[in-house]
């Protein structure tokens, strides 16, 4: 890759750093809106209290997103989650730079997926779609795997073992 292309990727990495806190603020804003709507429907006499309670749980999860990320990551990987875009490169080779950009983009998609899962929880009370619950779980589990992609890849390597595990270890460890 040319020096110009490497510089573009390095600039992209630097510019992606502020996206992570912005997504957290978006989750807080969505959580506050869900709180207002669910408290309003909770006080209404004609609506289901269970649906409002689920919305309040989703609201609490959005308002405490870093803690939720930690608990999900501890459940899946036994380690706390990342609270920023981070990935330590082994060296300054173009391959490591590609991996770094890919990890950052995957982490951003993961946090968006988790936020979407909590928002989809609020739709349960209004929707009669039986496929909504599995979609919520897949967004949550897929999102936490994307927020911690190196841990997920290490877990896959340990599961498969052999030559694949050594190749994965050489790339990300």
Do residues 81 and 144 make contact, with C-beta atoms less than 8 angstroms apart? yes
Confidence of residue 83 (pLDDT cuts 50, 70, 90): low
Distance of CA 98 to the CA centre of its chain: 20
pLDDT, tens digit, 9 for 90 and up, residues 84-95: 666 666 677 777
The model carries a pTM of 0.81
Please give the share of the chain, as a percent, with pLDDT higher than 90.
19
Q: Mean pLDDT over residues 94-123, rounded?
A: 87
Q: What is the pLDDT of residues 57-71, one digit of tens each?
A: 888 999 998 888 888
Task: Indicate whether 32 pLDDT > 80.
Answer: yes
């Amino acid at each position: 890759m040319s020096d110009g292309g490497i510089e573009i990727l390095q600039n992209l990495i630097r510019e992606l750093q502020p996206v992570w806190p912005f997504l957290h603020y978006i989750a807080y804003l969505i959580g506050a809106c869900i709180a207002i709507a669910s408290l309003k429907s909770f006080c209404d006499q004609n609506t289901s209290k269970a649906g409002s309670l689920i919305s309040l749980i989703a609201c609490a999860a959005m308002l405490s997103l870093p803690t939720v990320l930690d608990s999900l990551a501890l459940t899946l990987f036994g380690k706390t989650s990342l609270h920023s875009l981070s990935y330590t490169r082994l060296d300054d080779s173009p391959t490591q730079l590609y991996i770094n950009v890919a990890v950052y983009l995957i982490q951003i998609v993961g946090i968006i997926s988790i936020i979407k899962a909590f928002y989809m929880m609020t739709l349960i009370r209004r929707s009669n779609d039986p496929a909504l619950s599995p979609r919520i779980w897949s967004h949550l589990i897929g999102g936490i795997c994307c927020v911690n992609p190196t841990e997920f890849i290490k877990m896959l390597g340990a599961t498969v073992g052999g030559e694949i595990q050594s190749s994965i270890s050489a790339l990300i460890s």
